[in-house]
Amino acid sequence: MDRRTSLRWMLMVATSLPLRSLGLTPVGSAANAVEAKPYGSDPKLIDPYHPGELWPLTLTPAQRQLATVLCDTIIPADASSPSASVVGVVDFVDEWISAPYPRQREDRATVLDGFAWFDAEAQRRHVKFATDLSMEQLHGICDDVCYLPKAKPEFRAGARFFARYRDLTMGGFYTTPQGRQDLQYIGNVPLPRFDGPPLEVLKKVGLA
């Protein structure tokens, strides 16, 4: 089973792992971010909104570069669909972690501290920023944090971040038209006619 197929299955059955503190000193943008106001209990859902219009966005240009690298490591382009960053997943992550709600505030600290962890680990191993690593070097770090239950103690902080960032990347990607097509999801598509459930389905559930 290839990685893209594995991600499809993970999306359908996984739930978010419980978040715990990463045990790292929060980076400045997480600790000092401006607290925005929520949009209230009666948002105008049919109005178009632009990035940063509802609340200030969080990621700096350097953080967006790292966000792009990690998103495209998790969901790279393949023969059936583009990479995660091409369909706007970095914008989704930035909007999500900037929202002034408890879960999003928690994710903001998780993501920003995780970015700091990746850069620190890249410096420790290769004396480079994470965005300057070769694919082999980047994958070497990702391999150590890609599965939390088996991560070594020194990598558990990075693995907790990576588990959540993978969830956000997959959630952002597979809710785009390209992601739904990659899943072969056929909902939300108008049909010229509907002839009812197929006979074999009705037989299987005992209705025919």
pLDDT at 62: 95
Range of the domain at 64: 3-204
pLDDT at 19: 34
- Interior angle at CA 203, CA 205 and CA 198, nearest 5: 100
Q: Is the pLDDT of residue 34 over 90?
A: no
Q: Please write the tens of the pLDDT for every residue from 159-207.
A: 999 999 999 999 999 999 999 999 888 777 788 888 888 899 999 999 9
Task: Give the pLDDT mean for 6-18.
Answer: 44
Of residues 16 and 207, more confidence is placed in 207
Cβ atoms of 75 and 7 closer than 8 Å:
yes
Give 187's Cβ-side CA count (13 Å radius): 6
Say how far apart CA 37 and CA 124 lie, in whole Å: 39
Q: Please write the tens of the pLDDT for every residue from 84-105.
A: 999 999 999 999 999 999 999 9
Task: Give the pLDDT mean for 40-64.
Answer: 85
Cβ atoms of 173 and 75 closer than 8 Å:
yes
Say how far apart CA 97 and CA 109 lie, in whole Å: 8
pLDDT at 33: 52
pLDDT band at 21 (very low <50, low <70, confident <90, very high): very low
Task: Give the pLDDT mean for 25-42.
Answer: 56
pLDDT at 11: 46
Q: Which tokens sit at 99?
A: 């929202």
Q: Is the pLDDT of residue 67 over 50?
A: yes
Of residues 153 and 41, more confidence is placed in 153
Total domains, the chain: 1
Of residues 129 and 12, more confidence is placed in 129
